[in-house]
């Protein structure tokens, strides 16, 4: 964990330094500048049609062009956001709490009536495992080292047992995508995996054959859904206010409803940062355990 913490501090320092020298100026302050909106694999980024529809809806609702930015890892997206190279991003709750001082909430998705979701610990269907303890000494697939559901929740459960991934699992690796975690477990590359419960449930509908090779061993408590965030310094900028309104108004617009249907979400909501305290507690718990 020491490496992760130092990386975060480095990113934060880089952002502050750049801002203090006035090197990075948010382009979204001008009325017609494109909004640079970044996406992590918190959602099913493989759905190109959905991405195009989301982009088209936001551009229509905000009255300005929208440029979607996509990267392989959460770390890359977080770095772009903290250093203000993008105006807003759909990130995970873990980087949001890790950079709480540098970031602000724009909106939080609502799924099944709540701005909450769960992390699932999944195993191969034939794997004899009833709890996390039964997966000791096996190969484990994590989604991303900066993912709440795909890493932090399992690490926190291990920390409660005085364990860490390096000591508990025989090996572990990152797939950089929740769908990839399911693929890794289904094919037998890993005995178990940590995955976003929302993505897993959507996959169960969309790709039942893939999920049939896996089963849920453990569901976490409800935690804050991956939010849309922006740099704290831009929280009240016209572009971010427009973005927040566009997201919150999605259920009232036919194009917005179409996007929500593709995402299997009810809508977006204005929420307080305290919603993410549960994730912050897990982060503190993990930081207190030796790697």
Partner 1 sequence: MTWHRSPLTARVSLIVTLFMVTVSAFASERVLSRLADTQERHVQPLADAYVDGLVLALVDSIIREDIWQAFDVIDRSREKSGEIRPTETIVAGPDDFVIASSHPLEIPSHVLHNSGNRCRSG
Backbone torsion region of residue 216, taken as left when φ is above 0, otherwise alpha when ψ lies between -120 and 50, otherwise beta: beta
Nearest distance from C-beta of residue 175 to partner 1, angstroms: 4
**Cβ distance to partner 1 smaller for residue 95 or 177:** 177
Non-local (6+) Cβ contacts of 209 within 8 A are none
**Cβ distance to partner 1 smaller for residue 187 or 236:** 187
The window from 73-81, 180-188, 202-210, 239-247 that contacts partner 1 (CB under 8 A) reads 180-188
Residue 40 binding partner 1, by CB under 8 A: no
Give the Cα separation of 78 and 274 in Å (integer).
Answer: 20
For strand 116-117 and strand 223-224, is the pairing parallel, antiparallel, or unpaired? Answer: antiparallel
- For residue 183, what is the enclosing H or E element? helix 178-187
The answer to whether the beta carbons of residues 227 and 107 sit under 8 Å apart is yes
Nearest distance from C-beta of residue 199 to partner 1, angstroms: 16
Site for partner 1 in 140-179 (CB under 8 A): 141, 170-171, 173-176
Residue 180 binding partner 1, by CB under 8 A: yes
**Cβ distance to partner 1 smaller for residue 95 or 193:** 193
Going from the C-alpha of 221 to that of each of 163, 253, 279, the distances in angstroms are: 20, 33, 11
Residue 189 binding partner 1, by CB under 8 A: yes
Residue 135 binding partner 1, by CB under 8 A: no
Size of the site for partner 1 (CB under 8 A): 14
Give the Cα separation of 139 and 193 in Å (integer).
Answer: 9
Residues in the site for partner 1, rule: CB under 8 A? 139, 141, 170-171, 173-176, 180, 183-184, 187-189
């Amino acid at each position: 964990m020491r490496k992760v913490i130092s990386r975060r501090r480095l990113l934060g320092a880089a952002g502050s330094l750049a801002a203090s020298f006035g090197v990075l100026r948010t382009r979204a302050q001008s009325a017609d500048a494109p909004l640079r909106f970044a996406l992590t694999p918190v959602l099913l980024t493989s759905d190109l049609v959905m991405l195009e529809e989301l982009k088209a809806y936001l551009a229509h609702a905000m009255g300005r062009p929208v440029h979607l930015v996509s990267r392989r890892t959460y770390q890359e997206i977080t770095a772009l956001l903290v250093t203000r190279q993008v105006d807003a991003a759909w990130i995970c709750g873990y980087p949001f709490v890790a950079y709480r001082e540098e970031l602000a909430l724009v909106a939080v998705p609502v799924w099944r009536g709540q701005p909450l979701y769960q992390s699932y610990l999944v195993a191969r269907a034939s794997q004899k495992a009833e709890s996390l303890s039964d997966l000791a000494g096996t190969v484990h697939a994590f989604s991303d080292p900066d993912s709440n559901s795909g890493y932090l929740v399992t690490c926190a459960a291990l920390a409660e047992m005085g364990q860490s991934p390096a000591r508990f699992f025989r090996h572990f690796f990152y797939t950089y995508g929740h769908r990839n975690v399911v693929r890794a477990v289904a094919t037998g590359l890993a005995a178990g995996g940590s995955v976003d419960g929302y993505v897993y449930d959507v996959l169960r509908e969309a790709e039942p054959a893939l999920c049939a090779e896996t089963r849920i061993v453990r569901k976490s408590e409800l935690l804050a859904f991956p939010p849309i965030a922006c740099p704290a310094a831009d929280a009240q900028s016209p572009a971010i206010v427009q973005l927040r309104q566009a997201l919150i108004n999605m259920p009232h617009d036919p194009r917005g409803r179409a996007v929500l249907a593709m995402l299997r979400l009810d809508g977006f909501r204005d929420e307080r940062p305290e919603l993410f305290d549960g994730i912050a507690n897990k982060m503190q718990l993990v930081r207190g355990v030796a790697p």
